[in-house]
Amino acid sequence: MGRESGQVRFEVCRNTKKATIQPKVEAGTEEGATVYTDESHAYNGVGASGRPHHTVNHSAKEYARDDDGDGFCEVHCNTSEGIWTGLRNFVRPFRGISKHYLHQYVAVFELIHNFKEHVDFAIRLFICPDYWLEMLISP
């Protein structure tokens, strides 16, 4: 997730091994971008690719950390974990999604998340085109 833009990028992976995850992190982030993760071994070495890497140690009950002492916890992965919760809540009503189609559900969630301000307008436009036309024409 881009901290500045709020944009997310999801990709369905068959496994979460280091050899699979690290190239995807490198491809999905710009060089120099700071990467915040938990202590999973799959992320070890991300910092070697020119991306500063900060972790929180959930097993030691650390969920956020204030590295510079200004009172704000800069190091955390709570935002991305919240987005994963949103994804799980999005797919839950569909019950029993086939692995073959999972990437399509994930892509729809990514689109909705990244363009949430515009999705509401587009849905209303399709449902009530006359209402929006009247709003555009009326003085």
Helices 99-114 and 116-127 cross at an angle (nearest 10°) of 100
With vertex at residue 100, the alpha carbon angle to CA 120 and CA 87, rounded to the nearest 5 degrees, is 35
Percentage of the chain surpassing pLDDT 70?
Answer: 90
Round to whole Å and give the CA distance between 108 and 120.
Answer: 14
Round to whole Å and give the CA distance between 44 and 42.
Answer: 6
Give φ, ψ of 8 to 5 degrees. -120, 160
- pLDDT at site 4: 66
Reported as a single tens digit per residue, the pLDDT across 31-74 is 888 888 888 888 888 877 888 888 888 888 888 888 888 887 78
Question: Hey, where are the domains in the chain?
Answer: 18-137
Q: What is the mean pLDDT of residues 16-24?
A: 89
Round to whole Å and give the CA distance between 115 and 45.
Answer: 32
Tokens representing 15 are 């496994």
- pLDDT at site 113: 87
Find tokens 């993760």 and name the residue: 37
